[in-house]
Structure 1
Amino acid sequence: MTGAVRILVVDDEPDIEALVTQRFRREIRKGEMSFVFARDGEEALKVLDSDPEVLMVLSDINMPRMDGLTLLSRIGEAHRDLRTVVVSAYGDMTNIRTAMNRGAFDFLTKPIEFSDLDTTIRKTLSHLEEYREMQRRQAEAELSRAILARYFSPNIVASLSSQSGGFKPRGEWREATFLFTDLAGFTHLVETTSPDVIGDLLNAYIDGIARIVFAHDGTMMKVIGDAIHAAFGAPVAQPDHAERAVACALDIDEFAEAYREHWRARGIDLGATRIGVNSGKAMIGDFGGDAFFDYTAYGDAVNIASRLEAANKVLGTRLCVSQNTVDRIAGFTGRPIGLLQLPGMSEPVPAYEPLDPSRADSPEVAAYTSAYGLLAGGDTSARQAFAALVGAAPDDPLTLFHLQRTLAGATGILIDAG
């Protein structure tokens, strides 16, 4: 412990103050210890209430007004961090046992041997220092868990907390899958809707998505307004991170569409949630320094996921997943979108729309795949194939998108998604 250790001595003997200060004069002179004195329990409680620097109490048992046993009980109620050593006659073992049962740390017998007192004080203070260090570490651990719980699922928090050395989120290159969401038209909605309504809408929306991310053991990297950035495969490695991310994206889409209908029934025209997913290596870690926790990721793998989310606006889709992600999933169910030329990317990115297995096996998706194959091969009959599909499924935005492209003269699957 740094600085003088402050000790309260409680005893009604008139010479106790002189004896203690004389015995510990060297420690007092060096600034290692300081003492404050009280004649009974009532006076001791007043000292403790006014002097928060007291760390240890050395108390006689037999005193007027309030004895040492009563004082012990009162200290236990209001000053749990203090350590108390009781002093009593050698033959008064009944009171000593009672004192120990009430929380006394140790005891000394009268007449006091000051060498024993010195040893007991140092032992008590050493124990108190260990106890406070344990409390400090526990508080740090609880704070760490509270911070982690904002970003990671309960399973990941438990895993990180159980690791020896705790969570050390320094930057490292990791293979992971990244998911971005954005709520269409939200800025306009904020400008035209009551703040109370927006608050309720947004809180429940973000909470719903976060719960889905956590259900798939994902990490909430960032929430910016209505937009969410999540990751899978970090900080805890997940061999199936791509599969988790796509399953999460499908669940978010289902939740968001149901949530959209809920608010439309209340007269609020909530836009669609657009989702982009990509896999690859990124620099992931805590880049906030000591003053700010910012667990985030950098690299093209992250940028592509973000741009795929934005590409949905061009395509008319809600979900857009890269070839990098699809290649990591055995039995992926979905349909091809095309080669997307994304802003800032030199090479086009093959993209897919993930589908629920029940829909992926439908005749409409089979017909779409056939028409897409014609388009990819440069076959001009792709226009008629997509036109027929639009007639059969007028609400399919991706089919309509390709039809409009072919009507404009497009003969391939390279798409400017800027």
Structure 2
Amino acid sequence: MTAERSTVLVVDDQAPNVRLLEAILTPRGYDVRTAASGEEALRAIETEAIDLVLLDIVMPGIDGYEVCRRIREQVDTAYLPVVMVTASGDEQKVKALEAGADDFLTKPVNQSELLARVASLARIKRYQDTIKRQAGELAAWNQELESRVETQVSQLQRMGRLRRFLAPQLAELIVDSGDESFLTSHRREIVVVFCDLRGFTAFAEASEPEEVMGVLTEYHQALGDLIFRFEGTLERFAGDGLMVFFNDPVRCDDGPLRAIRMSVAMRTRVRGLAEAWGRQGHDLALGIGLAQGYATLGKIGFDGRNDYAAIGSVTNLASRLCADAEPWQILATERVYSAAGGLVVGEDAGYRELRGFSRPVHTFTVRGLDSSRVAS
């Protein structure tokens, strides 16, 4: 605020005194408001943006001392500069300071002294306004920051929940969009991959718990990395058993091929781990089953602990194929194998009688991928 924009309220019941002060201040660029009584002055201060008050002491109704005290009692005007205009003596000056006046002038008013005191207090008022504005901006900024932090914490919590079964890039996309409608129950065709370790039960019975946990940690980390890379949806880890599916919640046209490519990569990765486990005396191998079919998918659980699950015979079929697979064998249904196309190298594994299924299931063994036709 500049001097030209400073608003001075002149309070005096004597019109000649008001005109004199107005004549001195107006040419200097001050915007002068006037009040003929203490009550009128308080109303003006309440309704207008006043920067400084020139306040006479002796007035009808409430005097200048009382006006000053009331100004100081209000939070919004507690620091409003007030100059008391006294008629005489030190006694009035002391009472003016006791009432809360910032300064005082003695009648008859000296023009130079008046301008100097008004300019000084107007400058202090500008500093006060700046501090008040900055404090308001800081409070607003803090509030906005708190809101952002709260939002970010909420997003991180949602991200943490989604990352339990989605690839990180997909979880981030869903958090950014704010759309969790995919969590509601729905029906869709999916490709299910089920895998577990052959010989794990015997290994767990003969080993210390710390050894078992160490093997599982390496196993889960290796396969978890591949699940995220191929953007599969992880339903669960259950000891050495693991289930992943494709084409939900994000659709993918190449679900069968992607599932097979991930399975081949899993087998390669776990073979490397198994060599190290073998040197420690642990005989472990991987078996994988793949099936395609319709399932009902959605969020299951309770407040504070939810999972995203697929319910249907296709998940049982993948599990049964995994159980029927030989060590290091990837066993897929005819539907998955055929849908993956000519990129897959494998052979007919015949019809399998699987527990829980009334008809034999035509299966194929996946040997690998045609390296000349598919990118690594």
TM-score, normalization by structure 2:
0.62
**Deviation (angstroms), 1:273:** 1.0
Q: Secondary structure at the match of 1:329?
A: helix
State yes or no: 1:93 paired with 2:126: yes
**Deviation (angstroms), 1:270:** 3.2
Corresponding residue for 1:10? none
Question: Could you tell me how far apart the structure 1 residues matched to 2:208 and 2:339 are?
Answer: 44
Contact 1:176-1:233 within 8 A present in 2 as well: yes
Do the aligned partners of residues 16 and 298 (structure 1) sit closer, same or farther apart at CA in structure 2, a change above 3 Å counting? farther
**Deviation (angstroms), 1:330:** 1.9
Corresponding residue for 2:288? 275
Contact 1:160-1:167 within 8 A present in 2 as well: no
Q: Secondary structure at the match of 2:306?
A: coil
Tell which structure's C-alpha radius of gyration is larger: 2
Question: Could you tell me how far apart the structure 1 residues matched to 2:123 and 2:159 are?
Answer: 49
Do the aligned partners of residues 308 and 16 (structure 1) sit closer, same or farther apart at CA in structure 2, a change above 3 Å counting? farther
**Deviation (angstroms), 1:134:** 5.0
Question: Could you tell me how far apart the structure 1 residues matched to 2:71 and 2:174 are?
Answer: 53
Question: Could you tell me how far apart the structure 2 residues matched to 1:200 and 1:96 are?
Answer: 65
Q: Which amino acid aligns with 1:330?
A: G
The count of residues paired between Structure 1 and Structure 2 equals 261
Corresponding residue for 1:105? 136
**Deviation (angstroms), 1:231:** 1.0
Corresponding residue for 1:176? 190
Contact 2:329-2:366 within 8 A present in 1 as well: no
Identical-residue share of aligned pairs (%) = 23
Gap regions ≥5 residues in structure 1: 1-12, 24-87, 108-123, 362-418
State yes or no: 1:142 paired with 2:156: yes
Corresponding residue for 2:359? 347
Q: Per-residue displacement from partner, 1:72-93 (whole Å, max 9, x unpaired)?
A: xxxxxxxxxxxxxxxx988433
Corresponding residue for 1:310? 323
Corresponding residue for 1:337? 349
Q: Per-residue displacement from partner, 1:331-377 (whole Å, max 9, x unpaired)?
A: 1321110111211112221111112245999xxxxxxxxxxxxxxxx
Q: Secondary structure at the match of 2:179?
A: coil
Question: Could you tell me how far apart the structure 2 residues matched to 1:312 and 1:97 are?
Answer: 77
Q: Per-residue displacement from partner, 1:371-396 (whole Å, max 9, x unpaired)?
A: xxxxxxxxxxxxxxxxxxxxxxxxxx
Q: Secondary structure at the match of 1:200?
A: helix
Do the aligned partners of residues 167 and 99 (structure 1) sit closer, same or farther apart at CA in structure 2, a change above 3 Å counting? farther
Q: Secondary structure at the match of 2:352?
A: strand
Matches within 5 A, 1:381-392: none
Question: Could you tell me how far apart the structure 1 residues matched to 2:332 and 2:163 are?
Answer: 27
Corresponding residue for 2:252? 238
Corresponding residue for 1:65? none
Q: Per-residue displacement from partner, 1:148-179 (whole Å, max 9, x unpaired)?
A: 12221122213322334346411111111111
Contact 1:171-1:287 within 8 A present in 2 as well: no
Q: Secondary structure at the match of 1:337?
A: strand
Q: Secondary structure at the match of 1:151?
A: coil
Corresponding residue for 1:297? 310
Do the aligned partners of residues 200 and 15 (structure 1) sit closer, same or farther apart at CA in structure 2, a change above 3 Å counting? farther
Contact 2:186-2:298 within 8 A present in 1 as well: yes
Q: Which amino acid aligns with 1:334?
A: G
Specify which of 236, 259, 267 is matched with residue 253 of structure 1.
267
Corresponding residue for 1:324? 335
Question: Could you tell me how far apart the structure 2 residues matched to 1:340 and 1:278 are?
Answer: 13
**Deviation (angstroms), 1:322:** 0.7
Do the aligned partners of residues 339 and 132 (structure 1) sit closer, same or farther apart at CA in structure 2, a change above 3 Å counting? same
